[in-house]
Amino acid sequence: MAVKKFRPVTPGQRHKIAGTFSEVTTDVAEKSLIRSIKRSGGRNNTGRMTARYIGGGHKKSYREIDFKREKFGIPGKVATVEYDPNRTARIALIHYVDGEKRYIVAPTGIEVGQEIMSGEKATPEIGNTLFLKDVPLGTIIHNIELRPGQGAKIARGAGCSAQLNAKDRKYAIIKMPSGESRQILLTCLATIGSCSNSDHSLEISGKAGRSRWQGRRPRTRGVAMNPVDHPMGGGEGRQSGGHPRSRNGIPAKGFKTRAKKKSTNRYIVTKRK
């Protein structure tokens, strides 16, 4: 995966940096694995706007991704690597030997024709899904379950990965993408490798219209509002707005929002930076 810069032929291309899609092999999705998405435009079931700055956007269809990878012991072959408008990473279409087709989140380095497998029989190679008890120490992993059978919840975005650092009794100690070290049951599944499209963070849209294509409407700054609308609003002239905080009054910088008595705190070995 790489990115390309554009010659400043137009103002919108002057700062634009986009992906090359060099690893994508087809632009036609598998029909049996897509379904329609209904856009809300930020409105609830009575038609009232309950979330601001949402609306418009290009029409998309949802690709159903296999996050559980529960086809244990059944080999599959990578048929295509595709772009998914609903996520930052690429996806791969897998043809299993029993005739079933499924999409998975494509790891970095996966290629068409490659064979993948999940379960205890699988080897620790890129794209294979194993129980954490079978993963060698120090391995880079992604698509990690938090509870057995739940489906992958951790490290699913472009370029994300975690590392298996240790095994202690029935728990694996994993270093998260955030820097946090956490205990997860050894009976949870994880996929070997890191998520594809690692250069996604280098992309620059170049113009406001690109945000509109993605369904984002212009966001009004808090300092431009009145005191009744935002904690940072009001003031004579161009006031700075005081301490940066959200519309609800929650500080934006350095304020810890995690509950002190949260039940899952006992699984955290080292807090994130």
Class of domain 3-201+263-270: mainly beta
Cα separation, 233 vs 230, whole angstroms: 5
Q: What is the pLDDT of residues 206-229, one digit of tens each?
A: 999 999 999 999 999 999 999 999
Contact 137, 172 (CB under 8 A): no
Q: What is the pLDDT of residues 10-65, one digit of tens each?
A: 999 999 999 999 999 999 999 999 999 999 999 999 999 999 999 999 999 999 99
Residue 3 tokens read as 């990115």
What percent of the chain lies above the pLDDT cut of 70?
100
Cα separation, 209 vs 62, whole angstroms: 23
Across the range 114-129, mean pLDDT stands at: 95
Collect contacts of 142-145 with beta carbons under 8 A, ≥24 apart: 142/105, 142/107, 142/190, 142/191, 142/193, 142/194, 142/195, 143/67, 143/69, 143/105, 143/189, 143/190, 143/191, 143/195, 144/174, 144/184, 144/188, 144/189, 144/190, 144/191, 145/184, 145/188, 145/189, 145/190
Please check the confidence at residue 188 and state whether its pLDDT lies above 80: yes
Give 217's contacts (C-beta < 8 A, 6+ positions apart). Answer: 52, 53, 54, 55, 56
Name the β-bridge partners of 17.
Answer: 5, 204
Q: What is the pLDDT of residues 70-108, one digit of tens each?
A: 999 999 999 999 999 999 999 999 999 999 999 999 999
